[in-house]
């Protein structure tokens, strides 16, 4: 039986790291959202990017 760590490792998709700059007021808003949701700013940005792509190009959507 696979451990929780092994199961999580097999479900991870390959990723690409990138650097993004935000205006100070937008960064502050992202921090507040992340704090309220108890997630990282990176998670908030990834979620927003996925929603943007899904809305703009529905055939490319990976969301279910």
Domains of the chain by residue range: 38-64
User: pTM to 2 decimals?
Assistant: 0.68
- In this prediction, residue 13 carries a pLDDT of 82
Euclidean distance between CA atoms 63 and 36, whole angstroms: 23
If you search the block for the tokens 């790291």, which residue do you land on?
A: 17
The C-alpha angle 54, 31, 23, rounded to 5 degrees, equals: 80
CB distance 22 to 29 below 8 Å: no
- In this prediction, residue 36 carries a pLDDT of 98
Confidence of residue 57 (pLDDT cuts 50, 70, 90): confident
* Mean pLDDT on 49-56: 90
The pLDDT tens digits for 3-36 are: 555 555 567 789 899 999 999 999 999 999 999 9
Question: How far does Cα 31 stand from its chain's mean position?
Answer: 14
- In this prediction, residue 62 carries a pLDDT of 61
CB distance 21 to 45 below 8 Å: no
């Amino acid at each position: 039986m696979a451990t929780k760590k092994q199961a999580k490792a097999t479900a991870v998709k390959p990723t690409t790291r990138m650097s993004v700059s935000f205006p100070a007021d937008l960064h502050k808003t992202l921090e507040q959202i992340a704090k309220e949701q108890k997630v990282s700013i990176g998670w908030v940005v990834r979620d927003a990017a996925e929603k943007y792509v899904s809305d703009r190009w529905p055939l490319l959507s990976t969301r279910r």
